[in-house]
Amino acid sequence: MRSSSPTSIPSTMSSSSSSKKQALFISSLIVLWYSSNIGVLLLNKYLLSNYGFRFPIFLTMCHMSACAILSYLSIVFFKMVPLQPVKSRHQLFKIATLSVVFCGSVVGGNISLRYLPVSFNQAVGATTPFFTAVFAYLMTFKREAWVTYAALVPVVAGVVIASGGEPGFHLYGFIMCISATAARAFKSVLQGILLSSEGEKLNSMNLLLYMSPIAVLVLLPAAIIMEPNVLEVTLSLGRQHKYMWLLLILNSTMAYSANLSNFLVTKHTSALTLQVLGNAKGAVAVVISIFIFRNPVTFVGIAGYSMTVAGVVAYGEAKRRFR
């Protein structure tokens, strides 16, 4: 008995030290995830509404360009995840389809930020589970338990209430925000359908590696046609504000960091943890945006957003229990 104690104590200490390092690592990932997501959201709002850079398509193209370059460096050079090659033209076509839908969701979200406060933008974005459930039912005929669908009622009702109590409500911005939310949900359902076979499954980082260059090719002509003076105005802003280029580079890098940290948090935590963290992230973004941009909020708006978040939490819990 005595002879075993000297070896068991170091072993216990080593295990405790390893657990602390793992907890610190996961905490750092969560901080990176929060700061990247909230940072890119707030910086998008600042550039598009307060800074005079009114080019959401070009801004999205900058994001996708950074994602293409940094994804290539992360996977090919730094080998953060194994490279998963595209095996056929058919698979490439599926990825291209997802890329176009992804472009639509990001551009729509950026356009909405020109007209809506971040707080209301996040309230509408919280309805993603509703659209995901609708598209999953329409496209795969996958049915959930009635309790799960019932949980979606406060999700939608909350946004309706928040819309009525939003002082900065803008119909076009609202339509674009709803469209972006629906496109984001459609992309997640479509991804599950198109890349469902074992031979075609890609992790999110490899999918981003292939989607980003396609997105740039789609967004470039769109920016040229729909935002014809983008280069002229961008260069002019660059001369007027010495930090203009730094803001664009930082914003684009944070867009990639948001995707990378989301992948890493998903990998190192459970699905339930990710869901809880995601719900809290939206609330944190709302609070920070109100302090920074000083947009007016009403009790009705706060109550509506709270109802939506509560509905999202209930929906996630119902899905977990009634699988």
Q: pLDDT tens digits for 270-314?
A: 766 777 788 788 889 999 999 999 888 899 999 999 999 999 989
Q: What's the predicted TM-score (pTM) here?
A: 0.89
Q: Are 226 and 57 in contact, with CB atoms under 8 Å apart?
A: yes
According to the model, what pLDDT value does residue 1 have? Answer: 47
Averaged pLDDT, 152-161: 94
Average pLDDT, the chain: 90
Q: pLDDT tens digits for 159-188?
A: 999 998 899 899 999 999 999 999 999 999
